Amino acid sequence: MSDFRFSVKKTDTLRNQVYKDIKRAIIQGNLKPGTRLRESDLSEEMGVSRGPIREAILILEKEGLLLTQTHKETSVATVSEDEVLGLLNPLRVLLETFVIKKVLPSMTEEHFLKLQGILGELIAACENGKLDQVVEKDLEFHEYLISLTKEPFLISLWSSVSSRIVFHFISNGQKHQEQNFAKLIEEHQALFEVIKSRDLGSIEEELKKHIY
């Protein structure tokens, strides 16, 4: 493993905590592609048994962030640029367009205020240059919209696609760099305004600008 270290877990939701922490470490670039993860090491670092770790690894394998080959150790996956441009980006645009159009008719002022709050936190993270928070809030903005479907399959599918996209760019140093923060804010503000205005015709166009 790298020099990155996990903290000891102290909550009852061990599997979810372990899953979220490993996923965050991968997406934020603390664990690089090819890094080997040993259950025994993770168990010792986090202060938990191997059961929750094994369960978390299985979820992350399904999401395409970890890879375990037969009779070999688990390692952080790699994501190619071809996969991102040819498959993942189009899938994400299609999925998010479908979801927003699906949930928009039932969105209330409360939903818009929640989305605006996340956007405000994203802007604050950008202004403070907190890269880890920028990544987290960027994903949270989109994930909130996906969660409104209350459909586990859509949520899982989006998580897999978006995580691999962000992981690719972070691991290649091409996403969320400080000089792009202004653009990131502008794109999210534009998307928020389109959603709030319920302008169905412009949603896909704004998503393409942001995702591509």
Q: What is the DSSP string of 98-130?
A: HHHHHHGGG--HHHHHHHHHHHHHHHHHHHTT-
Confidence (pLDDT) at 4: 72
Tell which CATH architecture fits domain 81-211. Answer: Up-down Bundle (1.20)
What is the predicted pLDDT for the residue at 72? 74
Output the pLDDT for position 194.
Answer: 94
Looking at domain 14-76, which CATH architecture does it have?
Orthogonal Bundle (1.10)
Q: Would you state the pLDDT for residue 29?
A: 83
User: What is the percentage of the chain residues whose pLDDT exceeds 90?
Assistant: 62
pLDDT of residue 158: 94
Quote the pLDDT of residue 141. 96
d(CA 3, CA 44): 15
Amino acid at 110: E
Rg, the chain, Cα only: 18
Domain ranges of the chain: 14-76, 81-211
- Average pLDDT over all residues of the chain: 88
Given a contact cutoff of 8 angstroms between Cβ atoms, the answer to whether 159 and 143 are in contact is yes
- Report residues of the chain scoring pLDDT below 50: none
b/e 39-76 (16+ beta carbons within 10 angstroms → b)? eeebbebbebeeebbeebbebbeebbbbbeeeeeebbb
